[in-house]
Amino acid sequence: MSGNVRLLDDTLAAAKAEGRAALIAYLPAGFPTVDGGIAAVKAALDGGADVVEVGLPHSDPVLDGPVIQTADDVALRGGLKIADVMRTVREAHAATGKPILVMTYWNPIDRYGVERFTAELAEAGGAGCILPDLPVQESALWREHADKHGLATVFVVAPSSKDERLAEITAAGSGFVYAASLMGVTGTRESVGAQAEDLVRRTRATTDTPVCVGLGVSNAAQAAEVAGFADGVIVGSAFVKRMLDAPDAAAGVEGVRALAADLAKGVRGQA
């Protein structure tokens, strides 16, 4: 069974053809429950997200700020398993036909088995993985199996990345490049800043792969700002915060849908 890297490529190309950036939402699996997480992912896609990153909650995250850590803790206390992450990908993709990636740290994959993980993700209809802590120079095994199963390998670049390092990372990756807009962890911020635009410019000089910006985008105005220079706008903490702040799970799902619709206007310059 082959994964959906082609669907991801086509989706990003279609957004570009429309003269806009793609909207990429992040939501952790298993929050507030497995079923509730699936409903939230579907709502983000129905609301206007082009792509969703499903987070695999981890006990020791290095990129995630307090909002996502809180949601991850709920999921892990609820007994979330990798099988639940695969089910989230499967059901969300089947319901919407849109590309779904998994964002995960390396340790869970390493323990689960690379071949098993990639085969199951492809079978679920997944489009690929974002691997924030896997060094490119140690990624050959992962990339071999990802390529075999038709999955994208998305690496993260940061403002601190030197040009030579950027070229090394972009040559190894596929799908898109995740450009972290600033040094630090995920979370909403007042502004995304000029660092992100400079990083996109430097990254594009090394690759034709789309460059998508995450970390800090929380509203339509910021989405419109980033959409002015990036191929995709990645939003995570703002979605999770809508769910955390909601009085109940149903209201949280509707909050996700409403935010996706608002951000979709932003990436289209309609904010």
The catalytic residue among 53, 72, 120, 197 is 53
Specify whether 138 is catalytic.
no
Q: Would you call the peptide bond into 32 cis, given omega within 30 degrees of 0 as the criterion?
A: yes
What is the C-alpha to C-alpha distance for residues 50 and 198, in angstroms, rounded to an integer?
A: 25
Specify whether 120 is catalytic.
no
Tell me what percent of the chain is helix, strand and coil, each rounded to the nearest 5. 50, 15, 35
The catalytic residue among 50, 64, 72, 120 is 64
What is the C-alpha to C-alpha distance for residues 211 and 197, in angstroms, rounded to an integer?
A: 11
What is the C-alpha to C-alpha distance for residues 54 and 65, in angstroms, rounded to an integer?
A: 16
Other C-beta atoms within 10 Å of 164: how many?
9
Contact criterion met (CB below 8 Å) for 208 and 217: no
Coil, helix or strand at residue 165: helix
Give the residue numbers annotated as catalytic, written as ranges.
53, 64
